[in-house]
Amino acid sequence: MVSDEPKKKRTERAYVEEARRASSVIPDGDLIAHENPDFLLYADGRTIGLEVTELCLESPRADGAKLAKVADRAKKDYNALVPNEPVEVSASFARRIQELRLGVLVAGLVDFVRAHNCENRCFNWNEDDLPEGYCYIAIHSVQEHLAQWRTTMAFDTTLAPKELVGARIAEKLSRLQQYRNAVPENWLLLVNDRFLGAGEVYVRDDHARQWEFAFDFNKVLLFLRDPGGTGEVIEIRRALGASQLAPD
């Protein structure tokens, strides 16, 4: 049962479902949890192995745990007040937040989210009346298991270089034979969650459409995920002359 899956697996499943709502390139069909690859997709009379991975910078992601205390406490307090309205929240702190107590940051975020939990949009300091200590807050309705709250310092979003995407493809390519032991046809889904908080990167769609990589996956897809699960899916181009060891 999907409800009995570990949180990581449920999040990966939700990414796949969001990606195929955003694009018809991922066909409809039964999505069965698996390991190596993450899922088996039964569609159009064939079985597709689907490996799912996120793009992020690991070191800043770990450092962000220090800021997560605000997000964790705010989410807990919000759920106690509004338990049936799950939302995904991404908030950026303004400069000099060290002058503010943790309780002030938590209460301000909770009150703001509760007041705006149905608006499904992004709020900026120069356009909206944000609580003290914040310069940006995004609030979007989501399924309960995707109701993550994230906080980060302002101005630390990194434009994703081609090398980061290539490294992630290469990492998964090294495991491709394991995936083929389960099923001959395998796709890789890269998820660029653009509001991931600490360690997040941002892939420009115009750049991604021009990039080419050598790989032996049948398809490599890049899901540019916006808040709330919308976004677009780009099929990554295979470098001219790169091998493809299994048929499309």
Q: Hey, what amino acid is at 38?
A: D
Write down the pLDDT at residue 63. Answer: 44
Q: Supply 72's token pair.
A: 């964790």
Query: What are the residues facing 152 on neighbouring strands?
Result: 92
Write down the pLDDT at residue 58. Answer: 53
Q: Tens digit of pLDDT for each residue in 144-193?
A: 878 889 887 764 556 778 888 999 999 999 999 999 999 999 999 999 98
Per-residue three-class SS string for the chain:
CHHHCCHHHHHHHHHHHHHHHHCCCCCCCEEEECCCCCEEEEECCEEEEEEEEECCCHHHHHHHHHCHHHHHHHHHHHHHHCCCCCEEEEEEECCCHHHCCHHHHHHHHHHHHHHHCCCCEEEECCCCCCCCCEEEEEEEECCHHHCCEEEEECCCCEECCHHHHHHHHHHHHCCHHHHHHHCCCEEEEEEEECCCCCCCEECCHHHHCCCEECCCCCEEEEEEECHHHCEEEEECEECCCCCCCCCC
* Pair type for strands 237-238 and 212-213: parallel
Average pLDDT over residues 44-57: 90
Residue 237 pLDDT > 90: yes
Residues in the chain: 248
Q: Tens digit of pLDDT for each residue in 51-110?
A: 999 887 655 444 455 566 899 999 999 999 998 899 999 898 887 666 788 899 999 999
Half-sphere exposure in the Cβ direction for 135 (13 Å, CA): 11
CA 226 to chain centre: 8
Q: Supply 150's token pair.
A: 């994230």
Question: What is the CA angle 198-39-88, rounded to 5?
Answer: 35
For the chain, state the CA radius of gyration: 19
Distance between CA atoms of residues 169 and 244, nearest Å:
14
Write down the pLDDT at residue 101. Answer: 86
Residue boundaries of the structural domains of the chain: 2-55+160-238, 64-155
Write down the pLDDT at residue 65. Answer: 53
Write down the pLDDT at residue 196. Answer: 54
Write down the pLDDT at residue 199. Answer: 57
Q: Which CATH number describes the domain made up of 2-55+160-238? A: 3.40.1350
